[in-house]
Structure 1
Amino acid sequence: MAQTMTCKLLARASGKPSVVPGDAVLARISMMTNLDGTTFIDSFVEKGLRVWDPSRMIFCFDHMFQPDWFPQQAAKEHPKIRAFAREQGIPAENVYDLGRNGISHQIPVEQGWALPGTVCIGADTQSSTMGAANCFALPALFGVDPIVLTGDIWMIVPDAIRIELTGELPRGVSGKDIVYHLIRDLGERVSGKVLEFSGPGVATLPMDVRLAIANGAVQIGALTIMFPCDEILLDYLNGRAREPFEPVAADPDAKYVELIAYDLAAIECLVAGPHEIELVRPLGAVVGQPIDAANIGSCSSGRLSDLALAAEVLRGRKVHPGVRLVMTPISADTAREAAAAGITQIFLDAGAMVTQPGCGGCYSGNLSPLKLGDGERCISTSVETLRGRMGSQQSEVILGNAAVVAASAVAGCIADPIAYLARVPEPQS
């Protein structure tokens, strides 16, 4: 029976020769990644429960360093996780604490936990990010206790939609723009389904771009996103993978509920918001709107390639005096790589504030100097554009890619980055 990546992987994880959409399966998970706002710990401690496999549980500190909300929780959450890990026998290296920290669905990929052909569960809405590594990555926000207790998850095998890519992305266009095209074009057609990417265009996408695309499943409306395993992924995992793995590939004659084709060369810069992620428009529709703040970071755009793209715009330029620009790397490793490559210094020289790795200004409860006031507008690479997400309920958040945000920070209004990328000025004295 010809099978999609989704069916093949879930059949393997549930010990079945094959499955079809609609089958109920009990799938074995490979790992569980938790952020630092975890809820199951209290019930486990209260009931004396044990995690199914301490070696496959990880915690990533990305939110709760100094939230504005519930400051008493901030003082307790990290010590509680450290104590729980020690009591459960979870290895110290599995707790990505300050200095090793990063976003909970980025760390598993860059540290070799999320591997091809496996089921990976994350306690965050954007955990589909890990699907860039050819795994079935699923957010688990409710009913986490039995998963952590048993290492198994019940699910109904979902339908899959094939997204076939050709061509290559234009300069200054990112994975975030692909997500906005999918949000605009697909709507309710993808609800509860898996988006499986394929086609020759996939080979033109580096891992950072694939991760950005996979990150957008929830906003697109899909259950999750999966990429195939190819040389780019294998090269990325070389030296990272923590154990042997067996990729999954869709059969050539696999049946999909829909086939959708995109020419990457036709993808343009789009923006989303304010207030509603479904409000997707061409960048030109908002060019010239004044801004008060600009934010580069979050789980959709804080990777090294995003920071490097923004740095191309910022090199030799200054942030507009009426704009405050904040940059937050997605992980500690990314922060170190950006510093070593001189990218961080470009941001600092331009007048940006660089903060510690994590979620940063993506939501106002987090440790970030970027808190929007009434009537302020921010252009951000972050993942949500909801009212109050970055501060006041009377502020606006418009989302765009890293080049758009950097160009806007320099211009003092929303700007097209193409002119900034075409000519890099000499460094200012």
Structure 2
Amino acid sequence: MSMTMSQKILAAHANLDEVRSGQLIMADLDLVLGNDITAPVAIKEFVKFGVDKVFDTKKVALVPDHFTPNKDIKAAQQCKMMREFATDKEIENYFEIGQMGIEHALLPEQGLVDAGDLIIGADSHTCTYGALGAFSTGVGSTDMAAGMASGKAWFKVPSALRFNLTGKLSPWVSGKDLILHIIGMIGVDGALYKSMEFTGPGVSSLSIDDRFTVCNMAIEAGAKNGIFPVDDVALAYLAEHCKRKPVIFEADHDASYDETYEIDLSKIRPTVSFPHLPDNTRTIDEVGEVKIDQVVIGSCTNGRISDLRVAAKILKGRKVDPRVRTIVFPATQEIYLQAMDEGLLKIFVQSGAVVSTPTCGPCLGGHMGILAEGERAVATTNRNFVGRMGHVGSEVYLASPAVAAASALTGFISNPETIEEK
């Protein structure tokens, strides 16, 4: 029986020769992840199991990143519970202030993700790691608890959609524009409980950061996971960060897909998602005049070094509109240091922006940039639901770092192609 890339990973971890779409399987896990919102719930459930230890102290990762540095007493209590659990269970991969980062940027950076891995995380954007050829998906806190205790999880094998990529992205167009284009094309439920598999000659032109962004937002199309083939770009990243030997799975040439979409990367335009769903997309040429109050550049979607470089290139030698609060969030401490070494942080501050410690912060309406009633933000984050970044009467427009930086300068959603290089 022919299988997709995702199905082959699931079959291998279930110790089966083959699996089929819709089949229920129990599979061995390579990593279980939780954050400061979801892990405390999982810890309470774990205690009810009556087990003394996690299945593998090296294969559980706890990352307090959503409300940290602690924004209030409740956040402090949540993190205290995680810290005490990590110490008691001798969990090696606990990352707090000083070592921390936004979880989905941090784990690959720390070498905890490898090609061929099967990963669950109590956070919907765990699907990010498909950029490295892993099957990774978000689960509930109870599943996380069971995973920590047993090292196993139940899965219903997904069917798949194939996105055949050709061509190459134009200047100022990125993986964020690509995934927003796709979500606008198929809808927020267009890949419901399916695997989004990206193939074709255009894949090689996408950077690893582009791929992280695309897979990160697979969940915004309803997908179970997103995944790229393991090519030289992925292998180069893994060689730098991961000490394990990658296990590479390739889809069979006759693998079955529910649908195949042909996408010419050269035709993708800078794309913006209007409120209040990620599939409410328009190209930059269709945006019109939209006045904004805040710009957020960062998050698990677009807080990597390449994202900061793009934003800095646009902001260098310029001033942000004084009416626009512009906040930059490097995704990890390592990215923060690299941005410092490259002079990017100085560019941001001199432009009138502020730079934050790594945190999810405003992405989920947590802290460090909450919107008031009637305010609008351009954000490089992944969701723009009603009240996502603050007041239910506020609006979030999703965009790439290039569009966000250009908009910070003008005070309106703007085309980065119109900003002359200095």
Give the alignment's TM-score, normalised by structure 1: 0.94
Task: Name the counterpart of 2:42.
Answer: 40
* Distance (Å, rounded) in 2 between the aligned partners of 1:73 and 1:42: 16
Task: Name the counterpart of 1:24.
Answer: 24
Task: Name the counterpart of 2:364.
Answer: 363
* Distance (Å, rounded) in 2 between the aligned partners of 1:80 and 1:320: 42
1:114, CA displacement in angstroms?
A: 1.3
Partner amino acid, structure 2, of 1:351: G
Percent identical among aligned pairs is 36
1:67, CA displacement in angstroms?
A: 6.0
**Which whole-Å deviations, capped at 9, do the CAs of 1:13-33 have from their partners, x for residues lacking one?**
000111121222111110112
Task: Name the counterpart of 2:274.
Answer: 273
* Distance (Å, rounded) in 1 between the aligned partners of 2:16 and 2:299: 38
Gap change, CA 1:189 and 1:372, over 3 Å in 2: closer
2:108 paired with 1:105: no
1:291, CA displacement in angstroms?
A: 1.1
* Distance (Å, rounded) in 2 between the aligned partners of 1:190 and 1:362: 23
* Distance (Å, rounded) in 1 between the aligned partners of 2:251 and 2:46: 39
Residues 117 and 136, structure 1, Cα contact 8 Å, conserved in 2: yes
Counting only pairs closer than 5 Å after superposition, residues 107-146 of structure 1 correspond to structure 2 as 107-144=106-143, 145-146=145-146
Task: Name the counterpart of 1:83.
Answer: 84
Q: Secondary structure at the match of 2:413?
A: coil
1:189, CA displacement in angstroms?
A: 3.8
Task: Name the counterpart of 1:380.
Answer: 379
Task: Name the counterpart of 2:68.
Answer: 65
Counting only pairs closer than 5 Å after superposition, residues 292-311 of structure 1 correspond to structure 2 as 292-311=293-312
* Distance (Å, rounded) in 1 between the aligned partners of 2:339 and 2:361: 16
* Distance (Å, rounded) in 2 between the aligned partners of 1:239 and 1:352: 32
* Distance (Å, rounded) in 2 between the aligned partners of 1:267 and 1:170: 8
Residues 316 and 424, structure 1, Cα contact 8 Å, conserved in 2: no
Residues 274 and 386, structure 1, Cα contact 8 Å, conserved in 2: yes
Partner amino acid, structure 1, of 2:411: G
Q: Secondary structure at the match of 2:136?
A: strand
Task: Name the counterpart of 1:178.
Answer: 178
Residues 287 and 413, structure 1, Cα contact 8 Å, conserved in 2: no
1:390, CA displacement in angstroms?
A: 1.6
Task: Name the counterpart of 1:339.
Answer: 340
Q: Secondary structure at the match of 1:182?
A: helix
1:47, CA displacement in angstroms?
A: 5.0
2:54 paired with 1:51: yes
Partner amino acid, structure 2, of 1:285: E
For structure 2, list consecutive stretches of 5 or more residues without a partner in the other structure.
none
Residues 68 and 361, structure 2, Cα contact 8 Å, conserved in 1: no
* Distance (Å, rounded) in 2 between the aligned partners of 1:282 and 1:115: 35
Q: Secondary structure at the match of 2:120?
A: strand
Residues 106 and 130, structure 1, Cα contact 8 Å, conserved in 2: no
Gap change, CA 1:15 and 1:176, over 3 Å in 2: same
**Which whole-Å deviations, capped at 9, do the CAs of 1:245-274 have from their partners, x for residues lacking one?**
311111222222211110100111111122
**Which whole-Å deviations, capped at 9, do the CAs of 1:273-303 have from their partners, x for residues lacking one?**
2222221112233343211111111111111
Residues 308 and 344, structure 2, Cα contact 8 Å, conserved in 1: yes
Gap change, CA 1:411 and 1:178, over 3 Å in 2: same
Task: Name the counterpart of 1:391.
Answer: 390
2:421 paired with 1:424: yes
Task: Name the counterpart of 2:248.
Answer: 247
Gap change, CA 1:125 and 1:412, over 3 Å in 2: same
Give the alignment's TM-score, normalised by structure 2: 0.95
* Distance (Å, rounded) in 1 between the aligned partners of 2:342 and 2:137: 33
- Provide the aligned length of Structure 1 versus Structure 2: 417
Residues 190 and 221, structure 2, Cα contact 8 Å, conserved in 1: no
Aligned CA-pair RMSD: 1.5
1:233, CA displacement in angstroms?
A: 0.6
